[in-house]
């Protein structure tokens, strides 16, 4: 008996966007375009400009050439592209803005290689829902929760997952009652603390504050990137990370450790200096690794995640206590990013990981789709 041919998917690979992580997104997409299995996946590269225009690149080859380095907006500028819109009519497809008479280009799923606001926060996921289109990764709710550190930590704590002590507030609250917020912070936390935008990734806008007198400048910096802010208790801990893969029954990878070259694993260390070290699997007792993986799966379920996520933890040096730091619903996704490396060490290649994520998105879309229509008006 001849086995049935595997399903072939045409994916709209979204990258760029309006967030501060624009260039990182380009590099992620370039790696996916280069490594996707050509026998299973046809890549349709769609660059989202900083102004929000959707530009369909002519073929994935030129984009794939940018893999392996931190690509820039200028790298995309010279590539042939055509402005398109996403249409959900009849079957999801891309429609040319310049030539409406051209045949629409169908796509089977969206693969958002978008980091940060406007891509990882539920926005694109909502667009996919409206277009009745599978979307790789978490859905609307999971993406929104995974992007907002305040909500994420509140839910994790409610499920018994240990988190560092924190205080959350908005820019407007800080402007109107900063003295009360300062009192709340220093009444609950001890220096050093970390001041962060609640809804930004890649360590953008984060400041380590060792003196109360430096708090105002740190809040001002974080407020440049989000209106919701969080101040977290600093933990002298080792940075542990776990890859998660699946839908209703997620799997956890081996645990890996990041050893930063700087005081903490900041934006420059992640994307420019690249002097940090990665240890996979982490040199920790199996019992500790199993507890971290268990907390990771619990967080994945509590936050209504699907497809993929990377869960980050702190292992306190002095006490051995484990603290959940955050999840990333669209983690760094180049072959040398932590998420693919964790899965490679767990037996899943980068190419197979891409295919499996598309299949998970299609399966999730099928299982969560609601066919019922509301009753007619009386």
What confidence score (pLDDT) does residue 275 get? 64
Distances (CA, A) of 87 to 60, 123, 131, 136, 169: 21, 16, 7, 18, 38
- 119 and 69, same domain (yes or no): yes
Alpha carbon distance 92, 103 (integer Å): 13
In terms of DSSP bridges, do strands 109-112 and 277-279 run parallel, antiparallel, or are they unpaired?
Answer: unpaired
Residue 127 lies in a domain: yes
Q: Determine if the peptide bond prior to 192 is cis (ω within 30°).
A: yes
- Contact in structure between 71 and 30 (CB atoms under 8 Å): yes
What confidence score (pLDDT) does residue 36 get? 96
- Contact in structure between 259 and 241 (CB atoms under 8 Å): no
- 30 and 43, same domain (yes or no): yes
List the beta bridge partners of residue 361.
none
- 178 and 266, same domain (yes or no): no
- Output the domain CATH number for residue 202: 3.30.1490.20
Residue 64 lies in a domain: yes
- 128 and 226, same domain (yes or no): no
What confidence score (pLDDT) does residue 174 get? 96
Which contacts (CB < 8 Å, 24+ apart) does range 169-176 have?
A: 169/228, 169/229, 170/227, 170/228, 170/229, 171/223, 171/227, 171/228, 171/229, 172/227, 174/219, 174/223, 174/229
What confidence score (pLDDT) does residue 366 get? 92
Residue range 281-340, pLDDT digits in tens = 999 999 999 999 999 999 999 999 999 999 999 999 999 999 999 999 999 999 989 999
What confidence score (pLDDT) does residue 371 get? 66
- 29 and 95, same domain (yes or no): yes
- Contact in structure between 48 and 80 (CB atoms under 8 Å): no
Residue 187 lies in a domain: yes
Terminal C-alpha separation, the chain: 56
Residue 157 lies in a domain: no
Q: Which of 233, 260, 277 is the last residue of a domain?
A: 233
- 201 and 288, same domain (yes or no): no
* Below-70 pLDDT ranges, the chain: 1-5, 90, 201-203, 262-275, 370-374, 378
- 60 and 126, same domain (yes or no): yes
Total domain count for the chain? 3
Other beta carbons within 10 angstroms of residue 336's beta carbon come to 12
Residue 81 lies in a domain: yes
What confidence score (pLDDT) does residue 117 get? 81
- Output the domain CATH number for residue 13: 3.40.50.20
- 15 and 124, same domain (yes or no): yes
What confidence score (pLDDT) does residue 372 get? 57
Boundaries of domain holding 193: 165-233
Residue 267 lies in a domain: yes
């Amino acid at each position: 008996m001849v086995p049935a041919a595997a399903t072939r998917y045409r994916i709209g690979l979204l990258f760029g966007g309006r967030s501060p992580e624009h260039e990182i997104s380009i590099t992620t997409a370039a790696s996916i375009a280069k490594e996707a299995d050509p026998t299973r996946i046809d890549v349709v590269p769609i660059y989202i400009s900083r102004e929000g225009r959707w530009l369909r690149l002519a073929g994935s080859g030129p984009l794939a050439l940018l893999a392996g380095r931190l690509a820039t907006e200028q790298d995309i500028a010279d590539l042939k592209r055509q402005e398109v819109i996403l249409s959900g009519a009849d079957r999801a497809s891309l429609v040319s803005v310049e030539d409406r008479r051209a045949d629409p280009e169908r796509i089977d799923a969206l693969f958002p290689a978008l980091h940060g606001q406007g891509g990882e926060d539920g926005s694109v996921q909502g667009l996919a829902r409206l277009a009745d289109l599978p979307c790789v990764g978490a859905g609307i709710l999971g993406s929104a929760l995974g992007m907002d550190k305040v909500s994420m930590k509140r839910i994790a704590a409610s499920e018994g997952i240990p988190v560092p002590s924190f205080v959350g507030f908005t820019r407007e609250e800080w402007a109107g009652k900063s003295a009360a917020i300062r009192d709340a912070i220093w009444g609950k936390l001890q220096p050093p603390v970390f001041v962060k935008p609640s809804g930004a990734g890649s360590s953008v806008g984060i400041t380590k504050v060792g003196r109360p007198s430096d708090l105002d400048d740190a809040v001002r910096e974080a407020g440049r990137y989000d209106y919701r802010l969080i101040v977290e208790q600093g933990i002298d801990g080792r940075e542990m990370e776990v890859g998660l893969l699946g839908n209703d029954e997620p799997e956890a990878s081996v645990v890996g450790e990041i050893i930063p070259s700087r005081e903490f694993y900041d934006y420059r260390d992640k994307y420019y200096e690249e002097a940090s070290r990665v240890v996979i699997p982490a040199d920790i007792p199996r019992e500790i690794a199993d507890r971290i993986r268990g907390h990771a799966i619990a967080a994945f379920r509590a936050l209504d995640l699907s497809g993929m996520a990377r869960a980050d933890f702190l292992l306190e040096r002095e006490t051995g206590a484990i603290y959940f730091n955050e999840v990333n619903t669209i983690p760094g996704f180049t072959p040398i990013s932590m998420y693919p490396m964790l899965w490679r060490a767990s037996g899943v290649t980068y190419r197979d990981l891409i295919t499996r994520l598309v299949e998970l998105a299609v399966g999730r879309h099928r299982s969560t789709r609601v066919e019922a229509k509301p009753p007619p008006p009386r």
